[in-house]
Structure 1
Amino acid sequence: MATAVALVPTAFHPVQEASAAVASTVSPASGDSAATAPLIVEEITPRAVGKKSTVTVTGKVTNTTGETLEGVTVRLRYSSYPLTGRDQLESHSAGESTDPQAFGPSLTVKGPLAPGESAPYELKVKTSELGLGGFGVYPLAVESTDAAGERLGVQRTFLPYDDGSDVEPVEVAWVWPLLDRPQRADDDTYLDDTLDASLSADGRLGRLLSIGGQAGGFDESVEEPPADGTADADEDTAAAEKAGGTPAKDDAAEAPRAADSREATTDVPLTWAVDPGLLDDISRIAESGYQVLEDGESDTPRVAPREASENAATWLEQARVLIGEDPLLATPYANPDLAALLGSGLENDAESSVTLGRLTLQQVLGRSADHELAWPAGGAMDDATRDFLADRGAERFLLDDSALPASEWIAHTPTAATSLPLGNGEAGTALAIDGRISEEISADTWEPGQAALAQQRFAAETAMIAAEQPGGERRAVVVAPEHDWDPNPVFAQGLLEATEDLPWLEPVALDEIQADPGAVSEREGPVYSDSAAQAELDGDHLDRIKDIRGEVRLFNSVLTNDGDPFRPAILRLESAAWRDEDEAATRALDRLATSVDETIGKVRVMPGEPVTLASKSGTIGILVANDLEEHSVTVHLSIFSENSERLSIGNYTTSMEIGPGGKTTVYVPISARINGRTVLHMSLQNADGEPISAHETTTPVNVTGLGTTALLISGAGAMVLIVALAPRALRKWARKRHEAMSGEGEQDGAPAPGAAAGATEAMHHNVSAPSGQRPDATSGDERGDGVAGRT
């Protein structure tokens, strides 16, 4: 905690530095666009004037024409008669009513103004000179004219006046939003890079955290840095670097920031509003590297790696300290569109969002939220949503005032709290957010000429509520900016200061606003209008979610430990934030569908080489892999032959459990009836026989083995070959025998030359005889000669 508090001054630093640069403001509705405005009001002091006050208006006038202007004049216009209702505030701000007719002080710019040239102005007038009648809100306008009196520009604002009358103060409770749309599709892939930037000291969420942390003061138990500015240089450097800033060059000059921040604190209590899903998104990038979608227009978007976010780590550390034990309102995980889910048969997802939200909040912030306080998406709820939230502990419901309209007989702004019957027969409380104030302060306050007049509008709205004085009864107003609130830091700080300083306001905690069960309700409802119903997530979006959930269900069915790793991602797709962000919602849906398909593909039958079966039967090995890094799976292997008449499959082990990153081989007996080619189809299924993926693995099998008939045919062929070759072999044997016998005769006695020649001739005659003639088929004389000769 001490480390986080040491980092707080760094986060607060932009608030003080920005005050000099952005002291101006004008609501866009008050006049010209800031980018081309010929007149800008930068500051009005004081915010509320009294009898002895001096009103000071400062700003800048610009020549936005194409010609040089002479005699440019800036002047005040006002009315001595107060506005009588909040509708008149809107009409005056929008220029729909007549501008005030009384003229106050004026100033003529010295010298001509060339095109595009600007000049400052300052107008002062004592309140006593304006002739204001009493407590209330008075219209004020600042206009510029040329030498001919033609208007060049105008800005319309208000002058709240407190004449010291005994006005019953209005209680104001603030809900401070730390909210955003879901940032991730699957658990590791973010839709863009905006979250890291938003968490920096000068980012949207960084500013909201630091400004809100200044409200209500600091914990007195936290030790302050040395007052003499001698804070340890190494600690300051490390803190600045961790916060994503630049280490201070002069420690002595930078150290007093903590004291300055303390002086800027207010005693305005806040109720923080957080989305556990957003906290989960922040925690993820704070822990390790992640990836971001790129090329959103491509059919196959690429992802780019990112390192762990130091901004996220620092923001979380500060949040745990600054939020501390302050009142905390938490939406269910990812702020789901409960009305759409409950109306589409997705009650289990609604239940999961509540359970996961509470668990995530405890893990990230180390505390729980107020379970009795609920803020339904869009600030409206139907009966089913009310009953669902009430069954899970909600008793107080934060709703837009459009869902809790004032009763027809009410002519003033009714108090925020009203009794709300709950479905279980008990009574709860509905708290109406003041829609007009929340809308006005949520407008853009960054362009020149926007923040100061937005401050005046806040002061005017609350003063008008106080001026209504309905019988002296005390009323309360709830202010809750929009979820994507991105205020100028000076403006946001000024709102909290105004809440504390304006004499007709009394800041209170949200849980102090209670409904009087015995009082007649001044509000109707709650009302769930047709426009609220039409704003729900549409059927196409929910249908795609259901398709993805079907694939996820099949994947979960093979996880050994009954896990549900895609549950947070599914809940993020059911966020009400996608109501108005069709393009981002489509990207999230596409990415998650791809991620589910890729993850299922990691449990697979690995393709093998084609199989050649050289016998009637054999065994093949099928390799099944689980490439998941964190989950064990239990799968069933299914195999069938494309031609079962040619190739059949025997019994094999169908079910197997495979650990993370593991592989196993299944040995499958096969047998062939006839030769030829066929294909084996293999897939993995769950225990119910459902394929977990549409993708199959195939293996070609070529049967070349010989059967009994083939062996008989081959044997007969061999016999024919032997019979054909036997005569040739016999002749060769006979020739060799004759040669051998002739050699013996020469050794026993020399025959007559004629006899030898005759014997040789006879031998040659016999060897070369046709194969159909026996070798001994000679005359008796020839046989006798031969015998005699050998003897």
Structure 2
Amino acid sequence: MGAVVATALAVLPALTPLPSAPSAEAAEPPSRLAAVLPTADDTQLPALAVSEITPAAVGEKTTVTIRGLVINTTDRTLDDITVRLRYSPYPLADRKALERHSDSPDTAPYQSGPTTSPDNTPLPPGSAASFELKADAEDLDLYGGFGVYPVILEATSGQEGELGEVHTFLTYTGSEKPKKLQTAWVWPLMDRPQRADDDTYLTSDLAAELTEDGRLGRLLTIGAQDGEIDSSYTGPTPGPEETATQSPSPSPSPAPSSSPAATSAPDDTEAQPGPTPEKAPTTADPVPITWAVDPALLDDIHRLGERSYWSLSNADGSGPALEEHEATTDAQVWLAHARLWLAEDPVLAVPYANPDLPALLGADLAGDAQTAVELSRSTVASLLGREADTGLAWPADGVMDKATLEFLHSHGATTFLLDESAMPAQNWLGHTPSGAAPLSLPGGEKGTALVIDRGLSRVLGADTHTPGSSALALQRFVAETAMIAAEAPDAKRTVVLAPPQDWDPSAAYATGLLDATENLPWLSPVSLTEVRAGEADAEDRKGLTYPDKAADAQLGADHLDRLGSIRRQVQLFNSVLEEGQDPFRPAVLRLESAWWRRDDEGADTVLDRVDQAVQEHKGKIYVIPGDPITLASKNGTLGVLVANDLSDQSVTVHLSIFSENSERLSIGDYTESMEIGPGGKTTVYVPLSATVNGRTVLHLSLHNADGEPITDTPTTIPVNATGLGSGALIISGVAALVLVTALAPRAVRRWQRERARGDESAAAGPAPDGPTAADDETVGSTMPHNDRGQVGEQNGESAEDTRS
């Protein structure tokens, strides 16, 4: 098949052409392997790599051609290299035998086939040589007719012996024409949530995935089948009536408010719409596919192209840090092409962010589940310009309990994509059952279960980015589908092909799968919406079940407890916004995603970041702290400045103030409720009244209409009362007058006595040998007690005067 050739060319470009290995006499140095097989530094290169096996379906008169590379991974020059085919002439019995041959190195077919030698030998270390091995089907003597035959390719050298081997398959049809299997494709454009809060991405990887060579770019282009991304085409921009369904995005909390990049996209991201991309004409109808999208991923991509954004990084080892990135035009281009190319095909949309519905419904969060469905539909309508098929549902991990079934059915779902564990095959069944089975719905209605083949999903999800892996994975897919067809060649069955939701195939492999679906003689591609289940199909499968492993894998109690705490803070923040605004609604839904079932570390990261973002946004509504206040009189007025630094939302808040000492400083009536526009401020004037001098503290906080505080820590303002009123002055004056009235007569009498003594001393004159006034004290202090008392009486001092 041509697709297999494309696989080889995409994965092993060395084949067209391969540099010649130099001879011993060559003057030029040998070509290094890095130039032949570009690959990641940490990828272990194989000694033998298969680039293509043609044809995929081998007929009686077919010549099988196998091409590939022999790679010298040793440190010696290799010579005498041989590539040999070994096989079994008998087909494998069942799919388990196929798996054993693919995975086990111990299975060794005994029949020797043709051999070949690479052209360019001797082969220096680090070089590769191409080989081509041919075998006629009639010479292989394949006895079993239509079936899958095990094959081993071996590479050996005279110096090193065995270099490497590859296990693969030949699918032989012979002269038979098996009954065709209906094959229905589900093509996922999905991923885990890429953002925590609306402006902070978990990594910076998404932008690279949207390029033509990136994961999502490849899936979109290959799923469109012969489409090509035009980097100048940004398509029609959603109008106001379309974007009105989107929830308002909070301003980037990490970004400085003065940064223009935080509010508008740079000019160079505004690409002018180019000509509408068209699909190249094809000779065959495209393979019908049903696109499976997570609207949260579409929303993440849309935000990426709007304006600058932030990503978390652990590059310095010190924990998450924020890194700013410019808006990317690639996001606008990818979304425009998705809007164009998904316009006609069926689209299945999971609820926003693919929530863990069993966990939410079990935790009485049915309102969040309802919101996820509503936001999913509005996002698809806004960003893709169409509606998804509401009759299709894909529960997380393909399993659902009774409550989830009832919930999804209540929103229109009648056809459910399920994992094999949700509706396993009967134990007695000897073949792979049809992927379509009847399903009983609430109210006695009949629905359809589309059961995804787990073995094929593993094959589809194989790593095909290493050398030679695409060709081998494609050959395994061919063998698996042939084995299913051969198990019950007369039964009419359907195979549902649904890769993992984070599918990352190489371009060659994805293209080869679609071509194989179209061209293999035992496959008949159909649209998923056309698949119908027959009553006979119900007998081959057990009834709907919710596996214990699935119940154990649900979001745990710790995650839901933290989620509940964040939801309460979000509700508190929303309570001061205009009615109906809920800017953190998408962020909360992303926290409820089933993707976090298997990623505890990632779950902790998003919980921490959203919690921090909510606190940051609450912190943008605050009382601006003021300087300490000196109150110079009994009455005064305090001006309180309240700010709203949110760039997109108006708020209505209530101000509460209390004094630590209400007897010293009381608060009068003031305007408690206020509405503040985005980026606005308002002043509230508060009357104060002091009764006693001294210091006290005012505590100011903001709350919603129900009295719940918005600010975690109240703002404090010290107040110092230094001036008193007239009443206090009168009281102080009266007290002073009483004191003066009581002490004045006593002071006058003392003054008169002192004056009289002075006059008597002056009239008598000094005694010739008598003591002086100073000596009186000395004498008095040395006299006997009775004598001192006499002296006191001579000085005219009574005991009462002394006490006075």
TM over 0.5: yes
Matched, 1:464 2:483: yes
Partner of 1:450: 469
Partner of 1:162: 173
Q: 1:576 to 1:622 in 2, by over 3 A?
A: same
Q: 1:455 to 1:706 in 2, by over 3 A?
A: same
Partner of 1:73: 82
Q: What secondary structure, in the 3-state scheme, does the structure 2 residue paired with 1:171 have?
A: strand
CA distance in 2, matches of 1:56, 1:323: 38
Q: Which amino acid aligns with 2:563?
A: I
CA distance in 2, matches of 1:667, 1:241: 54
Q: What secondary structure, in the 3-state scheme, does the structure 1 residue paired with 2:129 have?
A: strand
Matched, 1:127 2:146: no
CA distance in 2, matches of 1:299, 1:692: 31
Q: Which amino acid aligns with 1:537?
A: L
Offset from partner CA, 1:706-753 (integer Å, 9 cap, x none) = 25345443577699999x9xxxxxxxxxxxxxxxxxxxxxxxxxxxxx
Partner of 1:37: 46
CA distance in 1, matches of 2:334, 2:571: 36
Say which is worse superposed, 676-685 or 654-663, in terms of deviation. Answer: 654-663
Matched, 1:118 2:128: yes
CA distance in 2, matches of 1:389, 1:409: 32
Cα deviation, residue 153, structure 1: 1.2
Matched, 1:430 2:439: no
Say which is worse superposed, 537-546 or 123-132, in terms of deviation. Answer: 537-546
* Equivalent in 472, 475, 485 of residue 503 of structure 2: 485
Q: 1:75 to 1:162 in 2, by over 3 A?
A: same
Offset from partner CA, 1:630-676 (integer Å, 9 cap, x none) = 22222111111112232222222222222222222222222223221
CA distance in 1, matches of 2:389, 2:349: 7
Matched, 1:608 2:619: no
Q: What secondary structure, in the 3-state scheme, does the structure 1 residue paired with 2:516 have?
A: helix
- For structure 1, list consecutive stretches of 5 or more residues without a partner in the other structure: 1-13, 25-32, 219-234, 243-254, 725-769, 774-791
Offset from partner CA, 1:263-307 (integer Å, 9 cap, x none) = 487521000000111111111122223222334777774433322
CA distance in 1, matches of 2:711, 2:479: 63
CA distance in 2, matches of 1:236, 1:547: 46
Cα deviation, residue 65, structure 1: 3.6
Task: Please tell me whether the aligned partners of residues 560 and 632 of structure 1 are also in contact (alpha carbons under 8 angstroms).
Answer: yes
Cα deviation, residue 148, structure 1: 8.1
Q: What secondary structure, in the 3-state scheme, does the structure 2 residue paired with 1:402 have?
A: helix
Q: How many residues align?
A: 677
Larger radius of gyration: 1
* Equivalent in 414, 417, 430 of residue 395 of structure 1: 414
CA distance in 1, matches of 2:219, 2:296: 18
Task: Please tell me whether the aligned partners of residues 674 and 703 of structure 1 are also in contact (alpha carbons under 8 angstroms).
Answer: yes
Q: What secondary structure, in the 3-state scheme, does the structure 2 residue paired with 1:367 have?
A: coil
Matched, 1:205 2:219: no
CA distance in 1, matches of 2:534, 2:218: 37
Structure 1 runs (4+) deviating above 6 angstroms are 14-17, 296-300, 718-722, 770-773
Q: What secondary structure, in the 3-state scheme, does the structure 1 residue paired with 2:444 have?
A: coil
Task: Please tell me whether the aligned partners of residues 48 and 71 of structure 2 are also in contact (alpha carbons under 8 angstroms).
Answer: yes
Say which is worse superposed, 283-292 or 334-343, in terms of deviation. Answer: 283-292
CA distance in 2, matches of 1:337, 1:15: 37
Q: What secondary structure, in the 3-state scheme, does the structure 1 residue paired with 2:539 have?
A: coil
* Equivalent in 146, 170, 187 of residue 157 of structure 2: 146
CA distance in 2, matches of 1:264, 1:115: 45
Q: Which amino acid aligns with 1:531?
A: K
Offset from partner CA, 1:34-53 (integer Å, 9 cap, x none) = 72322111111111111111
* Equivalent in 522, 528, 533 of residue 510 of structure 1: 528
Q: 1:681 to 1:296 in 2, by over 3 A?
A: farther
Instruction: Give the TM-score normalised by the residue count of structure 1.
Output: 0.80
Q: 1:264 to 1:541 in 2, by over 3 A?
A: farther
Matched, 1:365 2:375: no
CA distance in 1, matches of 2:591, 2:671: 39
Partner of 2:560: 542
Partner of 1:572: 590
Q: Which amino acid aligns with 1:139?
A: P
Task: Please tell me whether the aligned partners of residues 419 and 521 of structure 1 are also in contact (alpha carbons under 8 angstroms).
Answer: no
CA distance in 1, matches of 2:402, 2:123: 62
Say which is worse superposed, 141-150 or 640-649, in terms of deviation. Answer: 141-150
Instruction: Give the TM-score normalised by the residue count of structure 2.
Output: 0.79
Partner of 2:322: 303
Offset from partner CA, 1:677-698 (integer Å, 9 cap, x none) = 1111111111111112312111
CA distance in 2, matches of 1:239, 1:402: 43
Task: Please tell me whether the aligned partners of residues 180 and 484 of structure 1 are also in contact (alpha carbons under 8 angstroms).
Answer: yes
Q: 1:237 to 1:299 in 2, by over 3 A?
A: closer
> What does residue range 67-466 of structure 1 map to in structure 2 within 5 Å?
67-95=76-104, 98-109=107-118, 111-133=121-143, 134-147=145-158, 150-214=161-225, 238=232, 261-263=280-282, 267-295=286-314, 301-466=320-485
Say which is worse superposed, 267-276 or 343-352, in terms of deviation. Answer: 343-352
Task: Please tell me whether the aligned partners of residues 91 and 97 of structure 1 are also in contact (alpha carbons under 8 angstroms).
Answer: no
Identity of aligned pairs, percent?
54
* Equivalent in 621, 635, 648 of residue 617 of structure 1: 635
After superposition, the CA RMSD in angstroms is 3.2
Task: Please tell me whether the aligned partners of residues 620 and 645 of structure 2 are also in contact (alpha carbons under 8 angstroms).
Answer: yes
CA distance in 1, matches of 2:175, 2:591: 54
CA distance in 2, matches of 1:102, 1:519: 40
Q: What secondary structure, in the 3-state scheme, does the structure 1 residue paired with 2:700 have?
A: strand
* Equivalent in 674, 677, 687 of residue 705 of structure 2: 687
- For structure 2, list consecutive stretches of 5 or more residues without a partner in the other structure: 1-5, 17-41, 237-274, 744-754, 759-804
Task: Please tell me whether the aligned partners of residues 578 and 649 of structure 2 are also in contact (alpha carbons under 8 angstroms).
Answer: yes
Q: 1:318 to 1:709 in 2, by over 3 A?
A: closer
Q: 1:466 to 1:642 in 2, by over 3 A?
A: same
Q: 1:98 to 1:192 in 2, by over 3 A?
A: closer
Task: Please tell me whether the aligned partners of residues 604 and 626 of structure 1 are also in contact (alpha carbons under 8 angstroms).
Answer: yes
Cα deviation, residue 137, structure 1: 0.7
Cα deviation, residue 539, structure 1: 2.0
CA distance in 2, matches of 1:551, 1:699: 27
